A and B are shown apart, each in its own frame.
Chain A
Amino acid sequence: EADIYQTPRYLVIGTGKKITLECSQTMGHDKMYWYQQDPGMELHLIHYSYGVNSTEKGDLSSESTVSRIRTEHFPLTLESARPSHTSQYLCASSDREAFFGQGTRLTVV
């Protein structure tokens, strides 16, 4: 069973607010990822990390930022949320195989 957790599960927030989506894994994986996904559609990689102090931008341009101070923790921050940020955000970690959190459904009103 995968040990990767995302909080919150659902978030409704007003435009202009700062938000942080949390992601933690207890598997000791070096590689971690953030994906943005609209319902039933493909995964879009927005950030990834090879390990502590490593962060890279993914294929899809995003106004969010990430940090990787500890192996187990890979939070994503939006400084000023906008309605265009409304989506599902999925966090994953991998060794050879990827394990995903349950996702955060973000709605910006």
Chain B
Amino acid sequence: TQLLEQSPQFLSIQEGENLTVYCNSSSVFSSLQWYRQEPGEGPVLLVTVVTGGEVKKLKRLTFQFGDARKDSSLHITAAQPGDTGLYLCAGVNRNAGNMLTFGGGTRLMVKP
């Protein structure tokens, strides 16, 4: 059972466009992470959000944690080809021994 649902699954956009990726769950998470994975490599941590309503910015990336700590979003402004990759959200579930649960991922392609 997928506890974390990511949408969209696939996204292909032109360089310079904005986009938002969503991560939704019916479960409450004590923290939520976003990762980015390039082909042939392991996922790399981008950010951790902990507090409901928290917003974090990383250059052109803006991450938001929902007030109820059940959902999160990643917004990219003026996407560049270097942003291409698989974006994964993951939540820490206290009811599962603080194990990490990953969403299915959003595969982003930014065309020049």
Binding site for B on A (CB under 8 A): 31, 33, 35, 39-43, 45, 48, 50, 59, 88, 90, 92, 94, 96-103, 105
Q: Please, which residue of chain A has its CB at the minimum distance from the CB of B97?
A: A50
A50 vs B92: C-alpha distance in the bound complex, in angstroms? Answer: 14
Bound Cα distance A86, B88 (Å): 23
Place the interface of chain B in its size category.
20 to 34
Q: In the complex, what distance in Å separates the CA atom of A37 from the CA atom of B80?
A: 26
Is B100 in contact with A94, judged by CB distance below 8 angstroms? yes
Q: Decide: B102 and A43 in contact? CB cutoff 8 A.
A: yes
Describe B's contact surface by its main secondary structure: strand
For the complex, give the distance between the alpha carbons of A50 and B102 in Å: 17
Across-interface contacts of A39 in B (CB, < 8 A): 39
Q: Flag if B48 contacts A98 (CB, 8 Å).
A: no
Complex CA–CA separation, A48 to B88 (angstroms): 19
In the assembled complex, how far is the CB of residue B106 from the closest CB belonging to chain A, in whole angstroms?
10
Known: A40-B86, A42-B105, A96-B31. A103 touches B41 (CB 8 A): yes
- Nearest to A51 among chain B residues (CB) is B97
Taking a contact as CB atoms under 8 Å apart, the answer to whether A102 and B41 are in contact is yes
- Best-buried of A92, A98, A100 by chain B (most CB within 10 Å): A98
Determine the distance from Cα of A32 to Cα of B64 in the docked complex, in whole angstroms. 27
Which residues of chain A are near B42, meaning CB under 8 Å? Answer: 90, 92, 100-103
- Report A-chain residues with C-beta under 8 Å of the C-beta of B40: 88, 103, 105
Closest residue of B by beta carbon distance from A4: B42
CA of A97 to CA of B100 in the docked complex: distance in angstroms? 8
Query: Which 4 pairs, one residue from A and one from B, show the smallest C-beta to C-beta distance?
Result: A100-B42, A42-B104, A42-B105, A43-B102
